[in-house]
Amino acid sequence: MTMKSCFLLLLVAIAIAAVDAHPHDHALKGQEHPDTDDMEDELEELKAEDEEEVKVADELMHDLEKRD
């Protein structure tokens, strides 16, 4: 093999490895990104925490209004 053909073969091997390791490869197979479920769960937890904080703030404001 000549140096040029070895280099081209190496480039092809790197390109194939890059395509195989591409993080969005699973999207082509109809699967969601593995981190998506974790992010959705975290978002739901944050929404629940925000709702609790709003309730506590409303209660505190109501208590302050009663004192006045």
Give yes or no: residues 43 and 27 share one domain: no
Q: Is the full-model pTM beyond 0.85?
A: no
Average model confidence (pLDDT) across the chain:
77
Q: Is the pLDDT score of 12 beyond 70? A: yes
Helix H segments across the chain?
Answer: 3-20, 25-28, 34-67
Identify whether residues 18 and 2 lie together within a single domain.
Answer: yes
Q: In terms of domains, do 43 and 67 share one?
A: yes
- Asked if residue 29 has pLDDT above 70, the reply is no
Residue 60 belongs to what domain range?
A: 33-68
Terminal-residue alpha carbon distance, the chain: 91
Which of residues 32 and 55 earns the better pLDDT score? 55
* Residues 44, 26 share a domain: no
Does residue 34 contact residue 26 with C-beta atoms inside 8 Å? Answer: yes
Phi, psi of 16, deg, nearest 5? -65, -40
pLDDT category of residue 65 using cuts at 50, 70 and 90: confident
Rounded to an integer, the average pLDDT of 30-34 is 59
Q: Are residues 37 and 17 in the same domain?
A: no
If one counts the domains in the chain, the total is: 2
What's the pLDDT score for residue 32? 58
Separation CA 2–CA 63 (nearest Å): 85
